[in-house]
Amino acid sequence: MYMPIIGTLGYILSPDRQQVLLVHRNARKGDHHLGKYNGLGGKMEVDEDVGSCMAREIQEEAGICCLEMSLRGTVNWPGFGPGGENWLGFIFLITLFEGTPRTSNEEGDLGWHVLADIKELAMWEGDRFFLPLVFDDDPRPFHGHMPYQNGRPVSWRFCR
């Protein structure tokens, strides 16, 4: 039986849609994501749906309230966790929010990055496969499969 950890991952666009808010995971030693730039998010709790999970995680991590967000896709990451755990991620694009984002949280520094330049940042190798789908103009959500082995993606496929 397949029982993945379910999580959300959100990418917050600036009002002009030219920048994205990312966390630089540089605050906790032993962090599986240490040194990498990533969207915001985390594990879904038993009493919430994925949309509520995403909104809660954005509030907790950035201190802002999501006003408009869309599900851009899902990714099944078998073997992704530090102990080889399987993850199923729901990936959102947040296009309208209320409040001013924090500059840091317990995971690291938060900052705005030019969307066209994010491919130059240190991130999970596999993120480079699905991030173009998050920010493209195709309204259809994507659904991907990206098995990991030893901290690296083994393959990538998706459908829309």
Assigned CATH for 8-159? 3.90.79.10
Q: Work out the average pLDDT over 121-144.
A: 96
pTM exceeding 0.85 = yes
Average model confidence (pLDDT) across the chain = 96
pLDDT digits (tens, 9 = 90+) for 47-106: 999 999 999 999 999 999 999 999 999 999 999 988 999 999 999 999 999 999 999 999
CA-CA distances (angstroms) from residue 127 to 56, 64, 99, 147? 22, 24, 27, 12
